[in-house]
Copies of this chain bind each other. A is one copy, B any other.
Amino acid sequence: MNHSTFTFDLEQTVRDGAARAGRFRTPHGGVETPAFMAVGTLATVKALDPVELREMGAQMILSNSYHLHLRPGDELVRDFGGLHEFMAWDGPILTDSGGFQVFSLATLNTVSEDGVEFRSHIDGSKHRFTPESVMQIERNLAADVIMQFDHVIPGQSDEASARDASERSVRWLARSVAELERLRDGGRPPTTTAPRLASDPKPPFPRPAPSHPQALFPIVQGGIHAHLRREAARAIRQLGDWAGFGIGGLSVGEAKPDMYEMLDVLDDEIPRDRPRYLMGVGFPEDLLEGVRRGVDLFDCVAPTRMGRNGAAFTRDGRLNIKRAEYRLDLRPLDEDCDCAACRRFSRGYIRHLFLADEMLGLRLLSLHNVHFLVRLMRDARGTIRDGTFDAWSRQWLARYHSRSSTA
């Protein structure tokens, strides 16, 4: 079966090992890879406006099925025409399935072969996710790329647990495909809509889900066990020709060398003409080491979360803007940076904003940090095309780590 409705053009053959530059085409435009995707958990990249994301060169952004199902409800998002219209982002969007959140954020979760019962982290209300219900949610949200519902386990899990979760994720993938085809082919109009109130506007509600194609990405699990990762990748490839592959269950507590080993293993197992998305990974060093091992897409809440806490990426490592040493510092956060914060504002001013609890401070650091990663990947693409990625990335990391004790 061919699930590869989107194209992925590799503009450049492999250079400097496994690193590659390409272009992933979606119904809402192309994504130059490798790329960092900013995370808009609740249909907004925290503290930022879509216009700012567009200006900094962000291409594809991420949102989350678990969070949007609970608030404001995926059916409500569908009634607004899907995520693109709801949040006014006309570029590509990817939705995560909520697998990670169900196991990490929700409480009292109970896994069965059928799915997961859990209680909302917001109000303790009871919910149930199955591979099928998550496809319905992601269809309502109408992102370009939708991730399968998977069974996520801690990074240090033993082999038996890892095998159990990985094999279940593959079975859930098959059920996701069946449900997605049923939703596509049945042409069934939505029978439910967001609960109605007397004050709600009249129809056009309920509205059908947007009709653009959606690409389902499988998620390769298997913990830090190379043979399980290989088995998972092979089993997934047996199920179809996928538009792209998620690599899940990494950066969840395991040692870095273990993560890198899994990426090396999967570079041989995942077709090289398909994008690979390393889920939830997004510090600069992880991005560069991922690119070096053939990863094309990344996401992480780190840049916005750090920004809200006063931490900024710089070429020389991280800095904490609240430190007294920046009070009279007229320099931008990073003298090499061309973001909308660094072009105009000094460290001293941004420090003042943080100490005075002014929202512009959180905005500027969030913007700077996302821009930093977006630009890092843009620079990586250029050096891959030049055939200089390996040397460039090693120099980059050496400088980044050389003074990071100041953070």
Contacts and interface: CB of A to CB of B under 8 A. Distances in A.
A80 B199 CA distance: 53
A76 interface: yes
A88 interface: yes
A205 interface: yes
Which of A51, A328, A356, A362 has its CB near the most chain B CB atoms (within 10 A)? A328
A205 B328 contact: yes
A125 to B, nearest CB: 15
B43 A197 contact: no
B42 A356 contact: yes
A340 interface: yes
A392 interface: no
Interface stretch (A219-227, A233-241, A342-350): A342-350
Contacts of A49: 340, 360, 363
A44 B358 contact: yes
A169 B51 CA distance: 47
Given A71-B352, A86-B349, A352-B72, A358 B328 contact: no
A46 B359 contact: yes
Contacts of A86: 346, 348-349, 352
A329 interface: yes
A345 B356 CA distance: 29
Interface string A187-203: 00000001001011100
A88 B345 contact: yes
Nearest to A326: B199
Nearest to A328: B200
A330 interface: yes
A324 interface: yes
Contacts of A42: 352-353, 356, 358
Contacts of A358: 42, 44, 46
Contacts of A328: 76, 79-80, 194, 200-201, 205
Contact of A349 (B47, B87, B325, B352): B87
Interface string A127-166: 0000000000000000000000000000000000000000
Contacts of A355: 71-72
A43 B353 CA distance: 9
Nearest to A200: B328
Contacts of A362: 359
A397 interface: no
Contact of A360 (B48, B79, B329): B48
Interface string A363-389: 100000000000000000000000000
A327 interface: yes
Interface of A: 42-44, 46-51, 71-72, 76, 79-80, 86-88, 194, 197, 199-201, 205, 324-325, 327-330, 340, 344-346, 348-349, 352-353, 355-356, 358-360, 362-363
Interchain residue pairs A-B with the least CB separation, the first 3: A199-B325, A88-B344, A72-B352
Given A72-B348, A88-B344, A88-B345, 7 more contacts: A50-B344, A51-B340, A80-B349, A194-B327, A197-B327, A359-B359, A359-B362
